[in-house]
Amino acid sequence: MAPFHPPRPTMKLTAFTDYSLRVLIYLAAEPGRRATIAEISAAFDIRENHLGKVVHHLGKGGWVETVRGKGGGLMLAKPAQEIGVGRIVRHTEGNAIPAECFATEESDCAIVQCCRLKGVLAEAIAAFYGVLDHYTLADITHDRKALSGILHFHRAPPPGHCHEHRPHDIAVSLRWARRAACPHPPGPASSRRP
């Protein structure tokens, strides 16, 4: 009989939420400057069409302000300290449905009338969001200098600039920028000296 391997943990945020948080973090790193989707795409290696949908959604939610035309771009619509991480995640994740009995339609589960699992899962979800509600975008972008050094190192070239970067060159440059911004990243707890 083959050995049983428990499944790997799968609880994680959707890619849409992940990208939304990355866009907000990028904008918060230099809050007074307008950024472009091309810049953010280059910084995180995410396709521009994906980010376009994310930015549109964040704009409708009132977190991102977009300006069209020459000199346009996007920036935070409100100060980072007024943007709660919990609210962003709720907005981008939608209703949490960890089990069938959480769906709006009637459940087909045979034990739905007497099962207490729904209450336990609801409590877990409330605790999850309770932690996120303690933090703002300003809290998670506290070291703006380090973030700016990493994220803004590879900005989109200005219009008319046709210099090509090889993928290897970009990867090396980004690694250099990360080391320059965070020269002594913390290692595992077991490797730290007392």
Cα-based distances in Å from 159 to 26, 34, 167: 21, 16, 20
CB 171 within 8 A of CB 61: no
- The residue whose two tokens read 């440059």 is 173
Domains of the chain: 15-156+164-184 (1.10.10.10)
- Distance in Å from the first CA to the final CA of the chain: 46
* Per-position pLDDT tens, the chain of length 194: 566 666 555 567 889 999 999 999 999 998 888 999 999 999 999 999 999 999 999 999 999 999 888 878 999 999 999 999 999 999 998 877 666 666 656 767 777 677 777 778 888 888 999 999 999 999 999 888 888 888 775 555 555 544 444 444 444 444 444 544 454 444 433 333 33
What DSSP element (H or E) covers 103?
Answer: none
* Rg of the chain taking only CA atoms, in angstroms: 21
Q: What is the spatial distance between Cα 139 and Cα 80, in angstroms, rounded to a whole number?
A: 8
Q: What is the spatial distance between Cα 53 and Cα 190, in angstroms, rounded to a whole number?
A: 42
